[in-house]
């Protein structure tokens, strides 16, 4: 079985700032991490490899050369190979163009199961995974909290706000993983050495993938999304402190709940 895990290197959202003029994220000087949901996707693939024979894991990301670091972290965790999809032709891509490029890359590599994170913390669209499945014409099961793999199918426990679904789908298929799916393992010392000294991060450009990608669907020109405005979240207003008795506090809370139509 060949598992493809799609990951994204994202800025640490605790330190993100927005350019007040351009309305874009200021990434310079901001530490980058592997998107948390994607880390759970890596761990899910590794757990399948621990349980099943003949499982090969390839991890891919689309981004600038510095995304190499995220891929090597995935290799250090136990993935078998890594691919950096990087070319100026892919720059400025929205979710549609990103998913089209990744789908072409996945066709190029071959696959049985694809695992992506539910969504990236720098965008929160939750669109890329399902769009990849749509480009490839395969089943997509999102919000995965548990995964069972059979010989030719998968069974996924899918999370909703107030219920669960158990869904079975034939392979090939795509799963989007939740952070709650598992606890990602740490990189091992030997894994880190192998990731930097023995394993290679292979770079794929448009020239490598042009047979599998429609040029009308890549980069800024192939992106139908247009961002009108970006802005930082307004700071939360100062709270009100009531120095009152317990009974009075209960009355105040009830009144506030009524004001917001909660009770």
What DSSP element (H or E) covers 107?
helix 95-109
When comparing pLDDT for 13 and 60, which is higher? 60
Q: Give the model's pLDDT for residue 125.
A: 85
Query: Is residue 18 over pLDDT 70?
Result: no
Give one word for 239, left, alpha or beta, with left for phi > 0 and alpha for psi -120 to 50: beta
User: Hey, where are the domains in the chain?
Assistant: 2-217
pLDDT averaged over every residue in the chain:
89
113-157 pLDDT, tens per residue?
999 998 888 777 888 999 999 999 999 999 998 899 988 999 999
Q: What is the mean pLDDT of residues 53-60?
A: 94
Q: Model confidence at 49, in pLDDT bands (50, 70, 90)?
A: very high
Q: Which CATH architecture has domain 2-217?
A: 3-Layer(aba) Sandwich (3.40)
**d(C-alpha 103, C-alpha 213), whole Å:** 8
Maximal CA-CA distance, the chain: 73
């Amino acid at each position: 079985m060949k598992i493809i895990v799609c990951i994204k290197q994202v800025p640490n959202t605790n330190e993100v700032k927005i350019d007040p003029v351009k309305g874009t994220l200021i990434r310079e000087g901001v530490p980058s991490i592997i998107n948390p949901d994607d880390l759970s996707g890596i761990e899910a693939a590794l757990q399948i490899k621990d349980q099943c024979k003949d499982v090969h894991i390839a991890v891919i990301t689309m981004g600038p050369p510095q995304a190499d670091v995220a891929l090597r972290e995935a290799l250090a965790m136990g993935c078998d190979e890594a691919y950096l999809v990087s070319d100026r032709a892919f720059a400025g891509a929205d979710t549609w163009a990103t998913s089209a490029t990744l789908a072409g890359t996945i066709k190029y590599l071959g696959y049985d199961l694809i695992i992506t994170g539910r969504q990236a913390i720098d965008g929160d669209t939750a669109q890329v995974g399902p769009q990849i499945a749509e480009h490839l014409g395969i089943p997509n099961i999102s919000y995965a909290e548990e995964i069972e793999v059979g010989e030719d199918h998968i069974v996924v426990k899918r999370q909703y706000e107030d219920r669960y679904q158990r869904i079975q789908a034939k392979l090939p298929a795509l799963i989007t993983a939740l952070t709650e799916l598992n606890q990602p393992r740490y990189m091992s010392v030997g894994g880190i050495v192998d990731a930097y000294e023995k394993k290679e991060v292979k770079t794929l450009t448009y020239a490598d993938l042009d047979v599998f990608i429609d040029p009308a669907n890549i980069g800024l020109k192939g992106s139908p999304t247009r961002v009108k405005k970006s802005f930082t979240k307004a700071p939360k207003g100062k709270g009100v402190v009531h120095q009152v008795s317990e009974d009075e506090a209960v009355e105040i809370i009830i009144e506030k709940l009524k004001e917001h139509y909660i009770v």
